[in-house]
């Protein structure tokens, strides 16, 4: 660390790195990006030139050997996270790892063990928990939960009854409509990606754990395909629950993600990370959030209108992804900033190795539930492991 600035290296220079990592690392006020690494020499050189990075390599051990490097960002295919983390941790370098942290429980245990032994800071980029819209939704819900006040026109029976035990329990409903033509086969292959539950739904499993903490998940049901479209129902020890409906046969012409949390006669809805809507209590209304990159929008309808205008001007939206990005704020920049501050101030990472392990464990448990056609328990000893 030089004058409280961190020297960083990017390992993996694919599409996601271009849209998020490389932009965020090269614009962060406390980070100097010194290295880029990719298995393709041409890609590494092209990336270094494009983002004005001093050094490019195809061998991540060159980066590990550089004493100036404070932390690395891993954005490789999933199966090589473990050896890179192990090498970095042994060299005392902090690690910011793309999701999923691991593909299997054993890989997750080994990563947690290495992080614990080395004492490095470790962060998993399960970024939805850091999205401004999600943080605002959680805050609004918790305020209502602490002191629920209902609108005077709330419907109740003439002779009010006591709530039933299961009546006032929070439930999070997540709707994902995605366009599967964007999926690379490397993410669907069993050895390198593991499918969409491992590769994508770890995001929403983690989000539910973050939202309902300190309650722990205790039961899981799942259906569909572990590789593509699927559903997951996750129950927590305090009675809270989450339902995920993931469809890969949708379209990028419409926002991918919608969230609805209901609790104690109130609704907390987030639309595409740009608009939250609250219902069921005095003062409830709408809250708006800017895009991470792109034009000013005034809510989901405005975002959709601007996006339609954009796609109508081009035959292939892919050509505009890098030159004129149009990106919702899903928490990527906030996660990086939180990780940088954790290193600088020796504080807790915004998404720890235990958080990353739990998401992987729950994803594999969901796959097992699909394969067995059974609801499966989540033993407490599995999600609170003893790591030596």
279 and 246 fall within a common domain:
yes
> Percentage of the chain surpassing pLDDT 70?
96
- pLDDT at site 311: 73
265 and 168 fall within a common domain:
yes
Stretch 144-160: mean pLDDT: 84
Beta bridge partners of 244: 174, 232
pTM to 2 decimal places: 0.95
298 and 248 fall within a common domain:
yes
Over residues 258-278, the pLDDT tens digits come to 999 999 999 999 999 999 999
pLDDT band at 175 (very low <50, low <70, confident <90, very high): very high
**DSSP assignment string, 337-368:** HHHHHHHHHT---SS-HHHHHHHHHHHHHHHH
Residue 282's Cβ-count burial label (10 Å; 0-12, 13-18, 19+) is: exposed
Domain range for 285: 129-152+161-330+360-377
- Sheet with 257-262: list strands edge to edge: 286-288, 275-279, 267-271, 257-262, 171-177, 241-247, 230-236, 217-224, 376-377
- pLDDT at site 323: 65
Distance, CA of 268 to CA of 275 (rounded, Å): 11
- pLDDT at site 268: 98
Stretch 13-39: mean pLDDT: 95
Residue 62's Cβ-count burial label (10 Å; 0-12, 13-18, 19+) is: middle
- Residue 124 pLDDT more than 70? yes
234 and 138 fall within a common domain:
yes
370 in any annotated domain: yes
122 and 141 fall within a common domain:
no
228 in any annotated domain: yes
342 in any annotated domain: no
92 and 146 fall within a common domain:
no
Of 58-62, 99-103, 180-184, 373-377, the poorest mean pLDDT is in 180-184
Residue pair 275/299 in contact (Cβ under 8 Å)? The answer is: yes
238 and 372 fall within a common domain:
yes
- pLDDT at site 349: 98
40 and 65 fall within a common domain:
yes
What CATH number did the domain enclosing 288 receive?
3.30.360.10
Distance, CA of 81 to CA of 110 (rounded, Å): 11
112 and 33 fall within a common domain:
yes
- pLDDT at site 12: 96
Of 4-8, 22-26, 246-250, 294-298, the poorest mean pLDDT is in 294-298
**Going by DSSP bridges, is the β-strand pair 286-288/376-377 parallel, antiparallel, or unpaired?**
unpaired
94 and 166 fall within a common domain:
no
For residue 381, cis peptide bond before it (omega within 30 degrees of 0): no
What CATH number did the domain enclosing 68 receive?
3.40.50.720
249 in any annotated domain: yes
18 and 122 fall within a common domain:
yes
Number of domains in the chain: 2
Residue pair 105/356 in contact (Cβ under 8 Å)? The answer is: no
Stretch 39-68: mean pLDDT: 97
345 in any annotated domain: no
Stretch 5-20: mean pLDDT: 94
- Mean per-residue pLDDT of the chain: 93
Over residues 252-261, the pLDDT tens digits come to 888 999 999 9
Over residues 291-349, the pLDDT tens digits come to 998 889 999 999 888 888 877 766 566 666 666 678 899 999 999 999 999 999 999 99
170 in any annotated domain: yes
254 and 273 fall within a common domain:
yes
């Amino acid at each position: 660390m030089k004058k409280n600035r961190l020297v960083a290296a990017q390992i993996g220079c694919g599409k996601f790195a271009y849209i998020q990592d490389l932009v965020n690392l090269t614009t962060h006020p406390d980070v100097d990006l010194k290295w880029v690494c990719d298995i393709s020499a041409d890609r590494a050189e092209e990336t270094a030139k494009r983002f004005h990075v001093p050094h490019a390599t195809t061998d991540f051990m060159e980066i590990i050997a550089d004493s100036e490097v404070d932390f690395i960002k891993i954005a490789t295919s999933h199966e090589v996270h473990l050896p890179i983390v192990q090498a970095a941790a042994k060299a005392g370098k902090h690690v910011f790892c793309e999701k999923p942290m691991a593909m299997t429980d054993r890989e997750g245990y080994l990563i947690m063990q290495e992080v614990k032994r080395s004492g490095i800071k470790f962060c998993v980029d399960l970024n939805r928990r850091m999205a401004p819209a999600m943080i605002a939704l959680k805050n609004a819900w918790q305020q209502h939960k602490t002191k629920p006040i209902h609108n005077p026109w709330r419907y109740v029976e003439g002779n009010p009854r006591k709530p039933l035990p299961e009546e006032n329990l929070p439930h999070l409903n997540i709707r994902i409509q995605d366009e599967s033509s964007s999926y690379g086969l490397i993410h669907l292959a069993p050895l390198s990606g593991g499918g969409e539950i491992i590769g994508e739904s770890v995001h929403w499993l983690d989000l539910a754990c973050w939202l309902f903490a300190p309650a722990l998940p205790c039961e899981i049901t799942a259906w569909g395909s572990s590789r593509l479209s699927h559903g997951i129902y996750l129950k927590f020890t305090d009675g809270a629950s989450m339902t995920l409906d993931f469809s890969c046969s949708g379209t990028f012409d419409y926002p991918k993600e919608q969230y609805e949390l209901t609790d104690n006669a109130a609704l907390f809805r987030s639309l595409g990370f740009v608009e939250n809507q609250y219902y069921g209590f005095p003062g409830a209304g709408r809250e708006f959030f800017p895009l991470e990159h792109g034009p000013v929008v005034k809510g989901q309808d405005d975002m959709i209108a601007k996006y339609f205008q954009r796609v109508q001007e081009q035959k292939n939206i892919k050509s505009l992804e890098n030159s004129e990005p149009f990106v919702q704020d899903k928490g990527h920049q906030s996660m990086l900033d939180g990780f940088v501050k954790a290193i600088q101030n020796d504080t807790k990472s915004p998404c720890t190795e235990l958080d990353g392990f739990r998401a992987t464990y729950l994803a594999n448990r969901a796959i097992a539930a699909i394969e067995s056609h059974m609801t499966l328990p989540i033993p407490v000893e599995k999600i609170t492991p003893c790591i030596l």
